[in-house]
Chains A and B, each alone.
Chain A
């Protein structure tokens, strides 16, 4: 990855994100694939790569790579298991190596009773389950340690959550759209889930799916929408979330993350949008620090302002996992929101948003002014941590 504009996101697809859809994960995933391919001006017939945590298994034959090919009715030359920013990076590497040409990255799930559960967030493990730590407590342990080492406060966590909820209240597609507004004080006073997290500092639980289509610059020329270029990024997995004791270990990846910017020829100050992984309110704070946007310990002061839509590095622009959607695998939404911001396809309260007319009145509008360079982040855990750098022409 050297900043070359040879790999692009050419399609995105998002199903309705909602609670209690009554639909299976697989039907949502297949719908998202169709939407993303249509957005790209491609069809199922063009696909030769599939990257996702969930494989099509609606025929009862299980989640195997062979069954992916069977569902597509044609050979797959790349099938791999990851999601979001990491999947975009992997797709880019595979396409560059000639292993595939058109890669779909579907993700999502259904929490509807009796349908399916995102069971990986609640694994049965002999040394975890008895502690009663699933799932907010797992991340509360990380947040509490950050507060101890760096002086981060509950007020700062609430301010991060307030920014995400403010953006989400402007997004008619958000699961929390239409709910009462939440300011930092209200968030602090809300029901405690696992100290220091109150309920609005925790992810939603809902249904829905999304899909990203990645291809080569050559194929991108024939696609329906302008390409969004993959300039590079970095990724690290250090440990096994939900199985090992949570810690601040991921912050040790800071040099590798900063090197990812250097290899892509990108400097932090030029990044217009930073879509952090906001699974809990501490996420953006630690991620800004670990990616090098500020020093370790400065995030609590810096991030609540920086991530606002007119801030230095706006993020959680769709409402994030806290207010837009956590459908079990919401990783794709970070790159997808970047693509939508680049295109001006940001549903909000502006009367003319469908025609691309944005008011930039922050009581109505969540569109960033003229973004050209952005990063979309992977989950901010010891299990998966990293980012992809995306740019428009």
Chain B
């Protein structure tokens, strides 16, 4: 991840997620009542509306739902080409991310991937995925 951009700004709701990536876990919210997983961070369970949840370590694994190779980046500080993907996590939610350490030509839908936690700076660790 050699790109430079405005670093993610955690919110009170999302802070446990970023704490997780910094300490080696890809965490998702899991509902205390129905057990449902959700991504992105939300106040209520998106399955049963319960306000009770925990930030639980997810498997960090999934398969590619879709991907695109970006040849012309939105701002010049992103170094193209790079692969943006939606990963269908094994827990169910779709997650927007990057695919790294894989030649763009070999990326395919349904390919198995796993998270590769990658420090950006002292507080933020990003969560691109790579081949599993």
Contacts and interface: CB of A to CB of B under 8 A. Distances in A.
Interface of A: 122, 124, 126-137, 140-142, 144-145, 148, 191-196, 243-247
Contact of B84 (A127, A141, A142): A141
Interface stretch (B29-37, B47-55, B72-80): B72-80
A204 to B, nearest CB: 15
**Residue in A126, A130, A243, A246 whose Cβ sees the most chain B Cβ within 10 Å:** A130
B11 A130 contact: no
Interface of B: 3, 5-11, 14, 40, 65-74, 78, 82, 84-86, 94-98, 109, 120, 126
A42 B120 CA distance: 57
Q: Which 4 A-B pairs have the closest CB atoms?
A: A126-B8, A140-B68, A245-B94, A145-B66
A144 B67 contact: yes
A245 B86 contact: yes
Given A131-B84, A132-B3, A142-B66, A126 B11 contact: yes
Contacts, number: 102
Given A126-B9, A243-B40, A191 B68 contact: no
Given A194-B68, A246-B96, A141 B86 contact: yes
**Interface on chain A toward B: helix, strand, loop, or mixed SS?**
loop
A308 B118 CA distance: 49
A205 to B, nearest CB: 12
B10 A126 contact: yes
A148 B6 contact: no
B8 A127 contact: yes
A133 B84 CA distance: 7
Contacts of B5: 129-130, 132
18 contacts: A130-B98, A136-B72, A140-B84, A141-B67, A141-B85, A142-B66, A144-B109, A145-B66, A145-B86, A193-B72, A194-B68, A194-B70, A194-B71, A194-B84, A245-B96, A246-B66, A247-B66, A247-B94
A140 B96 CA distance: 13
A129 to B, nearest CB: 6
Contact of B74 (A122, A141, A144, A191): A122
B62 to A, nearest CB: 11
B87 to A, nearest CB: 8
Contacts of B97: 131
Contacts of A245: 65, 86, 94-96
Nearest to A127: B40
Nearest to B96: A245
A145 B74 contact: no
Contacts of A196: 68
Contacts of B65: 145, 245, 247
A140 B109 CA distance: 13
Contacts of A124: 6, 9
Contact of B96 (A131, A135, A144): A131
A130 B66 contact: no
A132 B70 contact: yes
A223 B70 CA distance: 50
Nearest to B41: A127
B86 A246 contact: yes
